Amino acid sequence: MKIPMKNIEEVVFKTASSKMSALSFNKSANNIILCLHGWLDNAASFMPLFEHLDGHSDFNVIAIDLPGHGASSHKSADAHYHFIDWVYDILVLFESNNWSNIHIVGHSMGGMIASAFSAAFPEKVKSLTLIDSIGFIYGDEKESTSILRKGMLSRIKVSSRSTQSKKSSSLSLEVATRARVLISDLEYRHAELIVARNLLNIDENWKWRSDRRLNTISPYRLSLAQCQQLISDIKAPVQVIYGSKGLDFVRKGIEFFGPLMSSQKIVELEGGHHVHMEKPKETAKLINEFIASI
């Protein structure tokens, strides 16, 4: 799939301990729209939107690769990918660039990260657009021991696999893309965009550059009460754009978490979990109008 590359640049944000890569559209603009992708996706998942967000010529649209994804650095060997730590990564990004009052667009897990960040740091967020995402994944306190056990065992399993080489003579962009299509609702052209950024080709040897530890099970979950408080503490205007064939979790979350938001707009588009890739023009129009109204 070819996306017009005019005004799209690769950028890197460096902190004391990590490198966060990103795709930047309209880099010379003064204002920012920050895009956060979903689990095992990367910045390329927002590329179809870029060409349709040019209605805001004064906005620099930045889609980052969260740590462990895409071209960003991995967590250190003694670290893991806790959901809350990604909130810290976003805070560091804001602090190191002196950002404030930013519009954030988050898809799936990226929407959850953006929601938690918006609740904890309301002064830094001007608006929040959630794409097929609302609320958080929470756990029953009675299952805490079981969740902990599953999480620890998953770390052992992934750690044992990490000793094996990530290179594979049978791995290719086509093979990896078809595998992603089989386990998702992505069209081939959209899966190819994401997979291409998650792969490296060195001397005709392909390897994954996303961190295998992303596949571990979280050893703990937020409680329902914690989730409710976080959602209630979001002060920025919120727009939820969800796919008619998206996640059941989102449709249920709209009824459960939607009323807890002080200001929200909810819109359904025909499409699946990656509705922003399937319907980029319609999604961008909603984002453009939402931001213009604030």
Pairing of strands 59-64, 19-25: antiparallel
pLDDT higher than 80, residue 63:
yes
Domain containing residue 33: 8-147+222-292
Q: Which residues are catalytic?
A: 108
Weakest mean pLDDT among 2-16, 138-152, 197-211, 273-287: 2-16
Give the least confident one: 9-18, 104-113, 190-199. Answer: 9-18
Q: What is the mean pLDDT of residues 42-60?
A: 84
Domain membership flag for residue 24? yes
| Overall average pLDDT of the 226-241 stretch | 97
**d(Cα 117, Cα 263) in Å, to the nearest integer?**
17
Share of the chain above pLDDT 90, in %: 79
Report the SS3 class of residue 24: strand
Indicate whether 74 belongs to any domain.
Answer: yes
Which domain CATH number covers 54? 3.40.50.1820
Domain assignment present for residue 172? The answer is no
Mean pLDDT of 63-69: 97
Q: Which two tokens stand for residue 185?
A: 């609702």
Residue at 265 is within a domain: yes
Residue closest to 11 by CA, chosen among 86, 53, 72, 67: 72
Which whole-number Å values give the CA distances from 78 to 75, 81, 159, 189, 218, in the listed order?
8, 11, 11, 36, 16
8 Å CB contact between 43 and 21: yes
- Residue 155 in any domain: the answer is no
* Calpha distance 102→33 (Å, rounded): 6
Residue 51 has a pLDDT of 80
Residues 22 and 11: beta-carbon distance below 8 Å: yes
Residue 257 lies in a domain: yes
Predicted pLDDT of residue 3 = 46
What value does the mean pLDDT take over residues 266-293?
96
Res. 56 pLDDT band, cuts 50 70 90: low
Burial class (CB in 10 A: 0-12, 13-18, 19+), 92: middle
Residue 202 lies in a domain: no
pLDDT at 254 over 90: yes
CA contacts within 13 A on the Cβ side of 105: 26
pLDDT value of residue 169: 53
Residue 166 has pLDDT above 60, yes or no: no
Cα of first residue to Cα of last residue in the chain, in angstroms, is 34
Does 213 fall in a domain? no
> Mean of the pLDDT values across residues 158-177?
72
| pLDDT value of position 6 | 63
Other beta carbons within 10 Å of 198:
19
Percent of the chain surpassing pLDDT 70: 94
CB 43 within 8 A of CB 70: yes
The amino acid that residue 88 corresponds to is Y
Q: Rounded mean pLDDT of the chain?
A: 91
The pLDDT tens digits of the residues spanning 173-220 come to 999 999 999 999 999 999 999 999 999 988 778 889 999 999 999 998
Q: How many angstroms separate the CA atoms of 64 and 23, rounded?
A: 6
Average pLDDT over residues 48-74: 87
Instruction: Give me the pLDDT at residue 165, please.
Output: 46
In the predicted structure, residue 172 carries a pLDDT above the cut 60: yes
- Per-residue tokens: 240: 């939820």
Give the mean pLDDT of 140-161. 92
Looking at the DSSP assignment, which residues form a beta bridge with residue 208?
199
Residue 164 has pLDDT above 60, yes or no: no
Closest among 17, 23, 75 to 48, alpha carbons compared: 23
Structural domain total, the chain: 1
Res. 55: pLDDT tops 60 = no
**pLDDT over 50 (residue 1):** no
